[in-house]
Amino acid sequence: MLQELVPTKKERQAQSIDFSKPSERLYTISRPTPTELSQLWEQLQSERHQLYRFPASLSDLVGQWGHSMLLFTGRVDEHLAALFALCEPAFSSGGSPVAAWVFAYVLPAFRGTHGMHLCQTAVDFFARQGFERFWTGVRADNKPAQRLARSCGFRRCGQVPGLGAPETPGVDAIFYVWEQQGG
């Protein structure tokens, strides 16, 4: 079922979104190559503001979550800039995707305006694939990630005290939901 969402190269090119206002840059979403995934994984592992605890290696991640996770990259023009994961997608009785947890990681050089455009492009792309609802979580001390979620149409839906990350047990986790208009 998940394989149905994996576009071919020709489909990826047709589905790429030109979200160029106001910076006149091309923002695209596509499936990662193994090399791109490795590059993004190495960078992600060095970050300290993540809410989620990931396995120690990329192969462990694929082994544990590969059956229930769809990975996509974000680009600014030709530059690799972000990793997006749709986790534990839910499907309608007809087999269409309807909801998933979403994880977004934007490389430091592309945070800010580019990060907002990349994340909005990803949300638009996933919504066109049929998803009606996404959830995400961020640490309470990660204000930029909270602003990013809100700027992409997510609304706050909950908070769990002390769930921020194993290495910082006193930090809360804040959860957000995005829903299709009318959903």
CATH value at residue 26: 3.40.630.30
Write the Ramachandran bin of 153: left for phi over 0, alpha for psi from -120 to 50, otherwise beta: left
Classify residue 146: in a domain, yes or no: no
Classify residue 65: in a domain, yes or no: yes
φ/ψ of residue 111, rounded to 5:
-75, 160
Classify residue 157: in a domain, yes or no: no
Mean pLDDT of 44-50: 66
Mean pLDDT of 75-82: 88
Classify residue 103: in a domain, yes or no: yes
pLDDT tops 70 at residue 82? yes
Distances, alpha carbon 62 to alpha carbons 69, 71, 109, in Å: 8, 10, 26
For tokens 């605890």, name the residue.
Answer: 53
Give pLDDT, residue 177: 95
Q: Which two tokens stand for residue 52?
A: 């989620």
Identify the weakest region by mean pLDDT among 29-33, 76-80, 167-171. 167-171
Looking at the structure of the chain, the number of domains it has is 1
Are 120 and 20 within 8 A, CB to CB? Answer: no
Give pLDDT, residue 133: 93
Q: How many CA atoms lie within 13 A of 81 on its CB side?
A: 24
Are 57 and 63 within 8 A, CB to CB? Answer: no
Indicate the pLDDT class of residue 161, thresholds 50, 70 and 90. Answer: confident
Structural domain of residue 116, as residue ranges?
2-131
Classify residue 79: in a domain, yes or no: yes
Classify residue 152: in a domain, yes or no: no
What pTM, to 2 d.p., does this model score?
0.74
Classify residue 68: in a domain, yes or no: yes
pLDDT tops 80 at residue 182? no
Classify residue 26: in a domain, yes or no: yes
Handedness of CA 37, 138, 15, 76 (dihedral sign): negative
Mean pLDDT of 135-156: 91
Q: Which two tokens stand for residue 100?
A: 């998933």
Handedness of CA 5, 16, 85, 66 (dihedral sign): positive
Are 22 and 31 within 8 A, CB to CB? Answer: no
